[in-house]
Chains A and B, each alone.
Chain A
Amino acid sequence: MLEVNGLSKSYGKLVAVSGVSFRADRGETIGLLGPNGAGKTTTVSIIAGLVSPDSGQVLIEGKQVQSDTDPAKLKIGLVPQDMALYDQLTARDNLTFFAALYSLAGEQAKHAIDDALHLVALSDRAGDKVGTFSGGMKRRLNLAAALLHDPQILLLDEPTVGVDPQSRNAIFDNLETLKKRGKTLIYTTHYMEEAERLCDRIVIIDHGKVIANDTLQGLHQLLPVTNVLAVELDLNAANGFKPEAMLALAEVKSAELAQGTLRVGVHDLSRGAPVVLSWLAENGHSYHHVSSEQPDLETVFLTLTGRSLRDSK
């Protein structure tokens, strides 16, 4: 559906993206994950035809977009990071205008607008001026405006920036609906939980380069541990406990104690958990709660770059 091959773009000495490649199939959701300034927006802008790459190409169903009016652009819907709406117009007037940009008029436009408003649950506010909307409602309408011409590929550039958790969930629900309809979603974010919840594949970008491109499971395989056993020790047991002693066990890859909770990294939970719990019992360390955790993308990013995702510059 969408192929991105070796995209590079520089602004003077600043390299925005360098050799970025990935592909997205029909119905697939690709997350472009990276800190601010990593090159996500530049990549999306090149795909949407807003920025010319210095090198590389974007293929939509095997064809490169040749001009401003190339019909291939009809296959793409862009949800810009900045709100792209006219506050002075009503929601319906905004959508009527954006529909007309794709030559939709009359009944055809009305159906498209009604569907889009219904999807983002704004049908009852269609006649209100956008200036009166909350940030979350504007974000949803911003999404609706990209759906009117029924594009196969949706480019979503941080569509949940600055919205409350409730609106974020509403947008996620909208995107999951679109995913079920078979749309291809390219979703940029620096929120790991968003990428984890929504994306089939995650492309991690840092300093303009792709440093990982895999499914969530595949990314986890890159980590030294794939599971963490969290054991809340009794107060007596925690006192004087030396977690590094556990590293002698073959199944244990890491062990650390913080605030009475022992976190033990293992590759295989089914084999590692009994060994760890037996060792604790044999050594007289009592505990009152055991749970397992999977490392998140933050850990993946930290492992791959040596830096925290949120703090990266």
Chain B
Amino acid sequence: MIPFLALVRKDLTLFFNDRKAVVVGLLVPIALASFFGYLFGGQRGNAETSKVAVLVIDQDASAISRGLITQLAGDKNLDVKPSELDAAREAVRKGKATAAIVIPKDFGRDAGRALFTGTSKPELGLLYDPSHNVELGMVKGILSGAVMQTVSKEMFTGTSGREVVDESLAQVDRSQLPAEDRKALRDLLGGVRELNERRDREGASGQTEISGGLTMPYETREEAITSGENVAYNGYAHSFGGMGVQFILFMGLDVGIGLLMLRQTGLWQRLRAAPLSRTMLLGSRTVSASLVAGFILLVLFSFARVVFGVRILGSFTGFVGVCAAFSLMTAAFGLMVAALGETVEATRGYSVMATLILVMLGGAWVPTFVFPKWMQRLTVVIPTRWAMDGLDGMTWRGLGFSSALAPIGVLLLFTLLFGVVAVMKFRWRTEG
């Protein structure tokens, strides 16, 4: 036991002796996690997100076009600014605006007629940045609603709407439509005319329900499903877990590379000359690396708790279990790197690549739900995915210990797998 403890203590002493490295090694993940956390919703879960920049070119200058612009500008998701066609085109091309809406001349009149007759629909021009497809969909949806509301409002209550109704009634009279259809349309348009005349008689006090124009016939009630009622989603919980996973993996990598380098030194000869078993040599390295990993997670989540209010809303035991299992897995991963590595330089190259893939596919950078379905299915064989699921589950999702069992079990299985490969492939003898 004395040699084992000495080996572990020595590793920890060497790690903490390099204070600059320790500080930098903690500051970098904290800074990155803070940044990613802010991007993914921040502390309140509904932090104000950046608005979509939209330019509007009003070539119509009608009541409808002005009403449309007012309607769009009132949407919380859009940042609407007036512009000219050439300037708008240039702004979209340079990425300064996501989209530009061109309201052509006579849009108001034509849209009003089309509302009743369905013919000669005017075209709204939409210039967009192809790298913002997701925002484009949102802009189109908001635009549709705004056009419907503005045009219908004007048609039922506005001056131009009355003119359009009169013109439409005349058109209906001149048309070759069957008598029954003609009567139905006359009744509809006559009803609108009568409504307008009544509004005129009643003055401003006679606002009717329809005076606001057609609107969406529903509203949504949004509720974030988190660990409990009135518990807001905290985006920092995921980002600190993700960055913790990433930097601990890199720490494991350092352990492996360090072991490879150690094999080339007299220190390795001295260790091997001592009456120490292989299990003790690798086991002590596993324990010390796990303790360092645990320390990193502890500091990261403590920082997240104090500064960003991240809390372990689920099982604390489960959280500790996931952290411990992931720490062990990382240490075993490092030993496997040392066992499979040939030269330090080559090993560093391919293992950094492998680590980044593990981090990326594990959902440490962005949650796995944004991945394509096939990739989401694929990532169940990635140990970091289980670590992230476990950490998310125990922190902001607020799940119980039973939900931590699967991540812990899978991570321990990976630990076993990596450990067996490390022991089997490790070159114990000095070769020269």
Contacts and interface: CB of A to CB of B under 8 A. Distances in A.
A101 B269 contact: no
Nearest to B273: A78
A283 interface: no
- Chain B interface SS verdict (over half): helix
Nearest to A155: B273
Given A81-B266, A84-B266, A102 B274 contact: yes
Contacts of A98: 270, 274
Interface stretch (B13-21, B161-169, B237-245, B366-374): B13-21
Given A50-B273, A68-B278, A88-B17, A45 B267 contact: no
Contacts of B48: none
Nearest to A99: B6
Given A11-B431, A80-B266, A84-B267, A70 B275 contact: yes
Interface residues of A, number: 40
B271 interface: yes
A101 B276 contact: yes
A100 B7 CA distance: 8
A100 B429 contact: no
A49 B7 CA distance: 20
A124 B277 CA distance: 35
Contacts of B432: 11, 16, 42
A53 to B, nearest CB: 11
Contacts of B269: 45, 48, 50, 78, 80, 82, 84
Contacts of A96: 6
B288 to A, nearest CB: 13
Contacts of A93: 13
Interface string A78-107: 101111111011000100111011111100
A93 B14 CA distance: 11
Interface in B1-48: 2-3, 5-7, 9-10, 13-14, 17-18
Interface in A17-59: 42, 45, 48-52
Contacts of A239: none
B3 A103 contact: yes
A76 interface: yes
A86 B275 contact: no
Nearest to B1: A103
B313 to A, nearest CB: 41
12 contacts: A45-B430, A68-B275, A68-B276, A69-B277, A77-B273, A80-B269, A84-B266, A84-B267, A86-B267, A89-B10, A89-B13, A146-B270
Given A70-B275, A84-B265, A103-B3, 15 more contacts: A42-B432, A49-B272, A50-B273, A68-B275, A68-B276, A68-B277, A71-B275, A80-B270, A81-B266, A82-B266, A88-B17, A101-B3, A101-B270, A102-B275, A105-B2
Nearest first, the 7 closest Cβ-Cβ pairs linking A and B are A100-B6, A82-B266, A80-B266, A84-B266, A78-B273, A101-B274, A84-B270
Interface of A: 11, 16, 42, 45, 48-52, 68-71, 73-74, 76-78, 80-86, 88-89, 93, 96-98, 100-105, 142, 145-146
Interface of B: 2-3, 5-7, 9-10, 13-14, 17-18, 265-267, 269-278, 429-432
